[in-house]
Amino acid sequence: MSPSASGEPIPGATEDRRRGRRIALVILALCAAPTVAAWFAYVLWQPQPRLNHGELIEARAISDPELRRLDGSPFRLSQLRGRWVLLQIDSGACAEACGKKLLYMRQVRLAQGKDAERIERMWVLADAAPPDAALLLDHEGLRVARAPGGRFLAEFPAARSPSDHIYVLDPLGNLMLRFPSDPDAQRMVKDLARLLKASHVG
């Protein structure tokens, strides 16, 4: 009489069943991982008044064209990889709203204390107007470079104009968050602190 007919387990069958269950669990975990990750992103970064001030943008890589510094030398955003980047896009003439954004970026960075070194500030000039020299002196360490054209600027989503926002790029160069042009500085500080705490890069 065979082991199966007698009710006795077939040699190796139990181990095969266990192995099959393990494989099924691994497949299930792999399938569920994107959903779980999306859930955590939703919980952590949904722009709710009690949590986030910034508006989450579906992470997207920004192109890396050659920008020009004020002295005419080339500059690329990829040179800032490995750091978080606060970025604004404005005319070199820098009206009142532009000046406020520069101030916000400076103060929000400084408010991060020892983590301030993980953050860069970038002003992308949208036109040929030269920035005021005195203004630049007030913002030591600010990166300033002129955009090569409208196609690059169009990569920064905005309902009206990219100059309405302060954008956040992650250390991999992905655009992921934007703030309004006249944000709540304290809530910006908290948003950025959460990003820095959660990040294992930059």
| Contact predicate 118/196, CB 8 Å | yes
Higher pLDDT, 74 or 30: 74
Answer yes or no: is pLDDT of 88 > 50: yes
What mean pLDDT, rounded, does the chain reach? Answer: 84
DSSP string, 73-106: -EE-GGGGTTSEEEEEEE-TT--HHHHHHHHHHH
Where does the pLDDT of residue 52 fall: very low under 50, low under 70, confident under 90, or very high at 90 and above? confident
d(CA 22, CA 36): 20
Where does the pLDDT of residue 39 fall: very low under 50, low under 70, confident under 90, or very high at 90 and above? very low
Cross-strand partners of 84: 119
What mean pLDDT is predicted for residues 135-139? 97
Query: Residue 147 carries which side chain, given as an amino acid letter?
Result: A
Where does the pLDDT of residue 149 fall: very low under 50, low under 70, confident under 90, or very high at 90 and above? confident
d(CA 102, CA 183): 12
The per-residue pLDDT for range 71-86, each reduced to its tens digit, is: 999 999 999 999 999 9
Cα separations (Å) of 80 from 130, 169, 179, 188? Answer: 23, 10, 20, 21
| Contact predicate 122/84, CB 8 Å | no
Where does the pLDDT of residue 24 fall: very low under 50, low under 70, confident under 90, or very high at 90 and above? low
Answer yes or no: is pLDDT of 10 > 60: no
Answer yes or no: is pLDDT of 171 > 50: yes
